[in-house]
Structure 1
Amino acid sequence: MLTSVSHITFWHTASSTLDNRLKMSSSESELTNEMEIEGYQFEPEFTEDEIKSQNLASSPVVSVNERGMSLDWCTCENCTILPTFNECLCCNEFDHYVTDYINSHTKCISLHPDFDTVCLNPVILETAYIIYIRYKSQRGRAPDHLNNKQSRFMAYRQFINWVRRGQHLGKKFRVVIPSCVVTKIRGAFPSEDGNYEGFHEASDSDTDSE
């Protein structure tokens, strides 16, 4: 009989202990769930100014023409400020010369003795235009006189061919022409409305029209 009572007491004690452990486990689980649900309640909050600053910091950087404020970058003294950073290039920074066109006697390529003949002479440009349309296999007769847009286009081509001595640039490869050269050519053959195409990077769909 004593043994039976002892067994009852043992199982009662064990059952109570198990219940207490289950209750503790349940309480811990509830506490954990509570903490997970409100896990960010102590995180710092940002002010509107801080949020705006973060948004600005993550925004893409906008390209700015850093040379558009002054002509400090020009050493030939004949450049003008053009719309984009790439176009604000001095002839002394141009790296496509194959002979010494600029020296102690000629500090600007646009002042070279042959520049006007090669790039500005109307007869030379008209002849170059005829060669160009034949090269492009275009049919028809060339105009008797080029308009200013055609003259500018051929003048730019003449300049590149002249300073590179006809060396091929490569398919769809474009060169930024120095500001002083662009300025002088535009002065000789101005746009009627004052608008100019400017420099564009080459793309697969490019043609040779400008």
Structure 2
Amino acid sequence: MENTEVATGSVSRSYSSLTQEARRNLLIEQLLARYPAPEHDRAFPNNPKIPKSDDSRSSQLQETPDDRIGNTHWCLCECCLAMATQIESICCREIQEVEGCIPEGNKCITNADMFISQIATAEHVRLTFMTMHLDDLPVVDANNNRRLRKTAYRTFFAWIYGFLGKGNRRVIPSCAVEVVREVFPDPMGSYVGLLYSDDYDASEMAFH
């Protein structure tokens, strides 16, 4: 018993006298002695490999950043407009919440009665705009169509998503944007497009 205690004490003293690097090497040796070398470990005789997929969706995810810009080959409803940015180049049938509102037997969200009556009807959008600005009556000027477009987009958001809250943006499908621009055109054909909360002044809305 006494011999065991002496031996243990001498081991402790010798270990404490080792440098940090020597202690590290000693620990590594002890760990390697406990576990078999990789060539003797039969848990994974072959390294697992990720199977290749032929799913068409996988190819869509590998699209180059600008391959939708300037064309509509991605459009599924046959009503989309070629957009200036990749993120805006999206069809109504690619957004789950929007696709769920497309009437049965129709291809595009712009054919929905709600869209036609509440978003694509100029008189209703003007009335909505006036209702939103009862405290400060709207000024009819060269930029009024810009304000009406934003009102139409807000109505679209409310219809599809309900209340989103500040800074929580969604992309409006190109086909819907096309109709709104036709109803409330910019005289110069100048449209800013989608902006996120970090891209514009806090007093402005996401769409122009």
TM-score of the two chains, using structure 1 as the length reference: 0.59
- Partner residue of 1:199? 194
> Does 2:150 correspond to 1:153?
yes
Long gaps (5+) in structure 2: 1-63
Query: Structure 2 vs 1, CA of residues 75 and 188 (structure 1 numbering), >3 Å: closer, same or farther?
Result: same
Whole-Å separation in 1 of the counterparts to 2:126 and 2:71: 36
Render the CA deviation track for 1:122-174: whole Å, top value 9, x for unaligned. 3321221133225xxxx43234799321221111111111222xx21122111
Distance 2:113 2:68 in 1: 29
Q: Does 1:140 align with 2:141?
A: no
Given that 1:71 and 1:79 are in contact with CA atoms closer than 8 Å, whether structure 2 keeps it comes out as yes
1:77 equivalent to 2:73? Answer: no
- Over the matched positions of the two proteins, sequence identity in percent amounts to 28
5+ long unaligned stretches in structure 1: 1-62
Distance 1:143 1:116, change over 3 A: farther
What amino acid is the match of 1:182?
A: V
1:87 maps to 88
1:5 equivalent in structure 2? none
Paired residues of 1:129 and 1:154 also in contact (CA < 8 A): yes
After TM superposition, the score normalised by the length of structure 2 is 0.59
Residues 140 and 200 of structure 1: CA distance in aligned 2, closer, same or farther (over 3 Å) = closer
* Alpha-carbon contact 2:71-2:83 (below 8 Å) kept: no
Indicate how the Cα distance of structure 1 residues 141 and 183 shifts in structure 2: closer, same or farther if over 3 A, else same: same
Query: Does residue 171 of the first structure (1) align with residue 172 of the second (2)?
Result: no
Per the alignment, in what secondary structure is the counterpart of residue 150 of structure 2? helix
Is 1:105 the equivalent of 2:105? yes
The DSSP-based 3-state class of the residue aligned with 1:96 is: helix
Q: Is the 8 A contact 1:172 1:206 kept in 2?
A: no
Q: Who is 1:116 aligned against?
A: 116
- Quick one: distance in 1 between partners of 2:173 and 2:115? 13
Question: 2 CA distance for matches of 1:127 and 1:105?
Answer: 31
**Distance between the aligned counterparts of 1:141 and 1:170, measured in 2?**
24
Q: Which has the larger radius of gyration?
A: 1
Shift >3 Å, 4+ stretches: 142-146
Is the 1:89–1:179 contact (alpha carbons within 8 Å) kept by the matching residues of 2? Answer: yes
**Residue 103 of structure 1: CA displacement?**
4.3
Note the 1:11-90 alignment, pairs <5 A: 64-68=65-69, 70-90=71-91
Q: CA RMSD in A?
A: 2.5
